[in-house]
Structure 1
Amino acid sequence: MERKGNEAQFKANAHVLDKLQEAGSSLQDVTAVQSDDAVAKARGKIVEDVVKNGYKIPFKEMPETVVLNNNRFARDNVPFVNEEIGKLLAKQCISEVTDVPHVVNPLTVAFGRTAFGLSTAGYIFSKCLRAVVCKWRAAGYRVIMFLDDGLGGDQDYIRSKALTGVGFPNTTLYPVLGNHDPYPANQMLYDTDNTAYYKGILEKSHWDSVLGANESRQFHNGGYYSATISEKLRLKGLNMNLYYDQDRLTNDLPDPAQQMDFLDKQLHEAHKHNQMVFIIAHVPPGVFELGSGLTCFYPKYNKQYLEKLEEFADIISLQVFGHEHTDSFRVQFDAEGKPISMMLLAPAVTPWKSTLPGVGANNPSIRLFKYDRDNGVAQNYVQYYLNLTAANIKGTGDDWEKEYDTSDVYALDELRPAKLHELARAFTDRSNKLFQHYLQYNSVLWAGNTECNETCHLHHLCAITQLDYDNFRTCISGGVTTHHPTQTTHHHPHRSTPQPQVPTYMFYLIGGLAAVVFLLFLLVACMCLRKRRRLRAPRYAKFGSLSLNS
């Protein structure tokens, strides 16, 4: 291995390679812990081969030779692509070849969309680590395997549930589907006639023992349900993966799995009985605050959902989403600029380190809400987190600690749209200490995610206050949006708010149109003048010069 890059990176790469070689040489001993039968030994051989030689995709038949062109984003971001390829070469994750391979896949840059790896990655992850986990458990260590949007503790459901009860005793669980829960990832069936699909998910995940009978029947229709928390409060667990723009099955449908119709009926029912509503889901609407206009919903579904929220804003008191692994919030406004709805985006237990420019990583975290069961008002939440850097140095993940409390850091006595709107107004000053706190919490105190220039600052503000895609683009360009967050009755003159700026190109456009109109006016005037002169007789002509004969 050559010493490319800095010394720390070289040592890290060398350490990884040494560990892989060590794992490969001792894997026979690890797999022997599981069983002495032929099946276990065969499984151990497979794992050993993957660790030593890499994972080979199991084709049913050899594909034809093909060389595919790189996608547009890869061609438009050549420096970024070259840099990333250089990193992979330096880490010996890839190697350079002189002959054209049998199949050449296109290089893809995840720019404007979320990109993940092979769908079989989860299978290989679990298969390779199963032997290691078994050995650790045999040694007396309590270990769980965690992979992205799902959490599993044991192959035996009763033991897994018991482990969950240790950390969350006497707690009702309300599960929702993530975009990595189906196979293939991101692809959710949309037809309510396919109840066997969602019924299978419910049974295999054992969520049918968590949800009630009525909730389970609703789940069969499309992975969504409604539950009663108290006499005055309902909870809607939605399958927002149906609206995810990575789901190729639902793009052209008016209402995938009739979820929007279900939500409409449920909200009407709650309104009829004077009940408040909590909504929980995985994939959020709106625009990601990090990156360049990254969205999750197909545009039409984003618009439909926002319209539904506006219609029932008086009874929807809280919405909680995940997926983006960041700590943020969003506020929706009506046509008059009044804040009517809010969404809280909770960061993840998964420490996702994104390759998207400007996104970075996050520490693992979990959130504890306090709310009133009678009126459905969320009073505050406390965010807890695990400092990965300290945990790796110490060699243990037990030191979870309090990150912040909304009632302390943001001085919020309640979590309401108007309160969060006031917080967003304070963020308009980039140097404001509240915005600086928000930046730190956005990545769960991850050390490398604290810098934010003017463009970054504007992206955060527009993502928080403009959930409509068109309004977000207008906000980013400096124009006036349809639902402008500063046009509210909650005005504080001591807080400076950015005035809308007209883009420079608009001045040139208006000036050009004015010039064209002026030239057309001159042209028409000249034509009219010439025509008038031809039709009019000379003012001093003699009678003899005029002919009266036909």
Structure 2
Amino acid sequence: MGMKGDGGYFWHITDIHYDVNYTSLGDPTKMCWLIRPNNGGGVVRRQPGQFGDYNCDSPWSLVKSAADFMKKKHGDNIEFVLWTGDAGSHAANDPHKLLATMQNLTDLLKHTFSSQFVFPALGHGDVIGHHHHHHAHLHGGLTAHELYKSVADMWRFWLPSEALASFEKGGYYTIENKGNRLRLIILNTNLYVRKGSMANVRHPEAAASLSPGGDDDPYGQWEWLEGVLDKSLRRREFVYILGHAPPGADERLLPSSPSSDSTTDGPFQEKFNKRYLHFVRRYSNIIAGQFFGHLHTDTFRVIYNELGQ
């Protein structure tokens, strides 16, 4: 997505889902992988395309083509790039392979946007895969914080030392664009997603020291967010907030039950959705934009005040 405002253009990239195993010889019903049945039989009725298939994740040819188009469309005439997560395949669950995938995409964006800063956010599948829940030690023998550190090292090219320190702590950071009084706040929305439906990168053993609020404020991100917004308010900065999973409901989902007290059937847990909206309402005069991914649709949110207006 290319966005134009008074200051120029920026790109918003999300949910690339690069799959190293994609092949045009693969089976679209099996992630477009080349899987040979044990009995040697089976016929693939439809071949995937060179640049992808609707039922599968993205081949490198599609990823590279998209990057080339963005460069050709605006060249260096953009302010920055927002990258809101989910680099790897939905089938990926090995942290080392996920990190390799993220490195490939990081290198591509460095090359494509060599004159601009890229501001990345963690997707729910970027750190421990789409089929894991939080564990002290993840598959592959790495802890969540070791993975945060690895990703921070990968993104060191774009982020200053203060942002890197914050990211290594909890996967979130803020950065100032001094030229136009704009502050970007990058959230780790993995801390707020519904349990059982997505990966959650919280590290239980570290939660006590990193998160004074415990489960109500994992890794202290809410306290940190309030401090950053207060500071921006005093400085009269405008703010962009970005993350992977969006607040609010997924309009494609029916309510979980007719009698449910939940007001959202979306990615966030209800208590975290309410708290996020509280901050948005409180600081609405300085929040100029919010950018998220995850849903794989072009959608927008209308946020009401406490009176429903």
Flag whether TM exceeds 0.5 (same fold).
yes
Shift of 1:269: 1.1
Equivalent residue for 2:87?
Answer: 150
The alpha-carbon distance between structure 1 residues 156 and 175, as it changes in their structure 2 partners (threshold 3 A), is closer
Shift of 1:176: 0.2
Shift of 1:334: 1.4
Q: Distance in 2 between matches of 1:159 and 1:329?
A: 30
In the TM superposition, 1:297-336 aligns within 5 A as: 297-336=268-307
Shift of 1:20: 5.5
**Cα-to-partner distance string for 1:402-439 (whole Å, 9 max, x where unaligned):** xxxxxxxxxxxxxxxxxxxxxxxxxxxxxxxxxxxxxx
Q: 1:201 aligns with which of 151, 172, 181?
A: 151
The alpha-carbon distance between structure 1 residues 285 and 52, as it changes in their structure 2 partners (threshold 3 A), is same
Q: Distance in 2 between matches of 1:277 and 1:174?
A: 14
Q: Distance in 1 between matches of 2:128 and 2:102?
A: 21
Q: Distance in 2 between matches of 1:282 and 1:157?
A: 15
SS at match of 2:302: strand
**Cα-to-partner distance string for 1:209-249 (whole Å, 9 max, x where unaligned):** 22111111010111000000125211001011110103567
SS at match of 1:234: strand
Q: Which structure has the bigger radius of gyration?
A: 1
Q: 2:182 aligns with which of 193, 218, 233?
A: 233
Question: What letter matches 1:196 in structure 2?
Answer: E
Question: What letter matches 2:125 in structure 1?
Answer: H
SS at match of 2:229: helix
Q: Distance in 2 between matches of 1:288 and 1:314?
A: 26
Contact 2:87–2:105, Cα closer than 8 Å, also in 1: no
Q: 1:256 aligns with which of 211, 218, 231?
A: 218
In the TM superposition, 1:72-87 aligns within 5 A as: none
Q: Distance in 2 between matches of 1:295 and 1:289?
A: 8
Q: CA RMSD in A?
A: 4.3
Question: What letter matches 2:36 in structure 1?
Answer: V
The alpha-carbon distance between structure 1 residues 156 and 277, as it changes in their structure 2 partners (threshold 3 A), is closer
Contact 1:182–1:188, Cα closer than 8 Å, also in 2: no
Q: Distance in 2 between matches of 1:196 and 1:19?
A: 37
Q: 1:283 aligns with which of 245, 248, 256?
A: 245
SS at match of 2:156: helix
In the TM superposition, 1:504-543 aligns within 5 A as: none
Relative CO higher for 1 or 2, CA cutoff 8 Å, sep ≥ 6? Answer: 2
Q: Does 1:268 align with 2:225?
A: no
- Structure with the larger helix share: 1
Equivalent residue for 1:181?
Answer: 126
The alpha-carbon distance between structure 1 residues 323 and 335, as it changes in their structure 2 partners (threshold 3 A), is same
Q: 2:171 aligns with which of 214, 223, 234?
A: 223
Q: Distance in 2 between matches of 1:279 and 1:216?
A: 17
SS at match of 2:177: strand
The alpha-carbon distance between structure 1 residues 303 and 166, as it changes in their structure 2 partners (threshold 3 A), is same
Identity of aligned residues (%): 27
Q: Distance in 1 between matches of 2:133 and 2:177?
A: 30
Shift of 1:309: 1.4
Question: What letter matches 2:109 in structure 1?
Answer: T
Shift of 1:156: 10
**Cα-to-partner distance string for 1:293-336 (whole Å, 9 max, x where unaligned):** 33111111111111111121121111011110111111212134
The alpha-carbon distance between structure 1 residues 183 and 51, as it changes in their structure 2 partners (threshold 3 A), is farther
Q: Please, what TM-score do these two structures have when normalized by structure 2?
A: 0.56
Q: Distance in 1 between matches of 2:165 and 2:288?
A: 26
Q: Distance in 1 between matches of 2:129 and 2:115?
A: 34
**Cα-to-partner distance string for 1:80-128 (whole Å, 9 max, x where unaligned):** xxxxxxxxxx989xxxxxxxxxxxxxxxxxxxxxxxxxxxxx9xx99xx
SS at match of 1:174: strand
Shift of 1:169: 4.5
Question: What letter matches 2:224 in structure 1?
Answer: F
Flag structure 2 segments of 5+ consecutive residues without an equivalent.
Answer: 1-23, 28-32, 46-55, 67-84, 90-98, 137-142, 205-213, 256-264
Q: Distance in 1 between matches of 2:169 and 2:233?
A: 23
**Cα-to-partner distance string for 1:130-156 (whole Å, 9 max, x where unaligned):** xxx8xx9xxxxx789xxx92069x969
SS at match of 1:309: helix
**Cα-to-partner distance string for 1:17-58 (whole Å, 9 max, x where unaligned):** x9569xxxxxxxxxxxxxxxxxxxxxxxxx98x53439xxxx
Contact 2:176–2:184, Cα closer than 8 Å, also in 1: yes
Q: Distance in 1 between matches of 2:305 and 2:287?
A: 14
Contact 1:174–1:210, Cα closer than 8 Å, also in 2: yes
SS at match of 1:326: coil
Contact 1:20–1:51, Cα closer than 8 Å, also in 2: no
The alpha-carbon distance between structure 1 residues 299 and 171, as it changes in their structure 2 partners (threshold 3 A), is same
Shift of 1:162: 6.2
Flag structure 1 segments of 5+ consecutive residues without an equivalent.
Answer: 1-17, 22-46, 55-89, 93-121, 137-141, 337-482, 486-550
Contact 1:276–1:317, Cα closer than 8 Å, also in 2: yes
Q: Distance in 2 between matches of 1:197 and 1:234?
A: 26
Q: Does 1:170 align with 2:115?
A: yes
